Amino acid sequence: DGGITQSPKYLFRKEGQNVTLSCEQNLNHDAMYWYRQDPGQGLRLIYYSQIVNDFQKGDIAEGYSVSREKKESFPLTVTSAQKNPTAFYLCASQPGLAGYEQYFGPGTRLTVT
């Protein structure tokens, strides 16, 4: 059963703590993406990675960090430097040069208090 998994679905943290969101795909896609979604807003790109061990900043990378040590995994860390971390976080993958269609995971809702 191929797809993208994100865990956990809901995450609660205290202000000042770093938190890591998981994203795994078994679609053999080359590219992976992290987006942030706020109520009534479109999707804003945080980071993306085209190949293993390489990633680029998106439009709102400040306060976030990522790693891409394996093709199937692209975890996102929300650091204490992110001023407004409460949001819905979406991970997506894309075949790469073979196609430009992005497929999304179910999302993680992070609440920081």
Partner 1 sequence: GQQLNQSPQSMFIQEGEDVSMNCTSSSIFNTWLWYKQDPGEGPVLLIALYKAGELTSNGRLTAQFGITRKDSFLNISASIPSDVGIYFCAGRRGGSEKLVFGKGTKLTVNP
* Contact in structure between 76 and 91 (CB atoms under 8 Å): yes
Residue 48, exposed/middle/buried by CB under 10 A (0-12, 13-18, 19+)?
buried
Closest to partner 1 by CB, 18 or 101: 101
Q: Which of 21, 46, 78, 90 binds partner 1 (CB under 8 A)?
A: 90
User: Which of helix, strand or coil describes residue 64?
Assistant: strand
Nearer to partner 1, 60 or 65 (CB): 60
Q: Is 102 in the site for partner 1 (CB under 8 A)?
A: yes
CA–CA separation, 24 and 73 (whole Å): 5
Report yes or no: 19 and 78 within 8 Å, Cβ to Cβ. Answer: yes
Q: Which is nearer to partner 1, 6 or 82 (CB)?
A: 6
Residue 40 engages partner 1 in binding (rule: CB under 8 A): yes
Smallest distance from partner 1 to CB 58, Å: 7
Give the residues lining the site for partner 1 (CB under 8 A): 4, 6, 31, 40-45, 48, 50, 58-59, 88, 90, 92, 100-107, 109
